[in-house]
Amino acid sequence: MRALVKESSGPGIVLREVPVPRCGPSEVLIRVHHAGVCGTDLHIWEWDTWASNRLKLPVIVGHEFAGEITQVGQEAEAAGLLAVGDLVTAEGHVVCGHCLQCRLGDAHLCLRTQIIGVDRAGAFADYIVMPASNVMKLDGIPTEIGAIMDPMGNAVHTVLEAEVPGSTVLVLGCGPIGCFAVGVARAAGASLVIASDYNPKRLELARAMGAHVVLNPGSDDVVARVRELTHGDGVDLVCEMSGHPSGHAQAFAVARIGGRVNLLGTPNRTTEVDFARDIIFKGLTLYGVTGRKMYRTWHQMQRFLRAGQLDPRPVITHRFHLECIGEAIQVIKDGQAGKVILEVGA
């Protein structure tokens, strides 16, 4: 089968013919239809410090996908819940089930997480093998949307880890996950959703996803504008998706007293925090977001998608074939892309 493989140190990912993976007893084999390209894949392409520390080469890249089941392992078959022909997506974190976090229902924080496309064979390929427990039937959700439920799930996790109905929300950073967060906040009944980014193209996408107000820190005084829009209170919830220390500073400044800052954007350096002024006297709650709650997040997302409350399609700006991974990576680097999809098979 075809697969995009990170073979060696240094930039790039290459298309290779590799064997179709073997399907174990509690696994299923999936024919990939669509896959999503993520910032993580960019790190792997560029072979930055994180990538070179984490990956053991060679590895098939890609962790966002949807497709069709073509084989079901013996144990999975006995369970009778998945069948050849089912259109599915999957949680890409393969977890141990036995560590403290797994036992407490926080499997998204499993000590022994293996991420597909990073720690084990990924989805930029004609086929991928997944544990049956990680697989979710699409039941009518198109595979193109199924392929981006991983990053959309990051947004669902970030937003719903707060009491959203009637709340005021600021999304800082409007990459694809930020744009999804805007849509999720609207779907979940937020009263006011403000989005902020330096990139006008991304602000357009945020508006298309339902932002009531978009702000550009290049021309807007974000803190002043948010205060004004909230009658001086600040917002109930900040979704920090920029990963910049300036985003953190804004987040703490505009979260209301007693409010909440959920942090997803991962900065590559430290931030100076005035804990007394910004966290303690304000009674703030901060929450670090990793992955998707397994599998509460997926369920909530499926509900929103099936009811038509959330439509992520405005965020999809580009589609490429598997062999055009270089172009896909380039449009992401150019900063003009929303979500980029690989059309793998059908």
Residues 126-185 that bind a copy of itself (CB under 8 A): 132-133, 136, 160, 164-167
Q: Is 98 in the site for a copy of itself (CB under 8 A)?
A: yes
Residues 15-44 that bind a copy of itself (CB under 8 A): 24-26
Q: Is 283 in the site for a copy of itself (CB under 8 A)?
A: yes
Q: How far is the CB of 302 from a copy of itself (least distance, A)?
A: 8
Q: Is 326 in the site for a copy of itself (CB under 8 A)?
A: no
What values do phi and psi take at 280, rounded to 5?
-75, -55
Q: Which is nearer to a copy of itself, 12 or 245 (CB)?
A: 245
113 catalytic residue (yes or no): no
Q: Is-contact 117 124, C-beta < 8 A?
A: yes
Report the residue count for the chain: 346
Residues 294-323 that bind a copy of itself (CB under 8 A): 295-296, 298-301, 303-304, 306-307, 309
Single out the catalytic residue among 40, 143, 168, 297: 40
Q: Of 94-102, 145-153, 202-210, 318-326, which part binds a copy of itself (CB under 8 A)? A: 94-102
Q: Is 280 in the site for a copy of itself (CB under 8 A)?
A: yes
Q: Is-contact 341 319, C-beta < 8 A?
A: yes
Give long-range contacts, CB 8 A cutoff, 24+ apart: 211-214: 211/171, 211/182, 214/174
List the one residue from 192, 229, 329, 342 that touches a copy of itself (CB under 8 A): 192
Q: Is 249 in the site for a copy of itself (CB under 8 A)?
A: no
Q: Is 191 in the site for a copy of itself (CB under 8 A)?
A: yes
- If you write DSSP's letter for every residue of 169-229 in order, what string do you get? EEEE--SHHHHHHHHHHHHTT-SEEEEE-S-HHHHHHHHHTT-SEEE-TTTS-HHHHHHHH
Q: Which is nearer to a copy of itself, 4 or 151 (CB)?
A: 151
16 membership: H or E segment, kind and range: strand 14-17
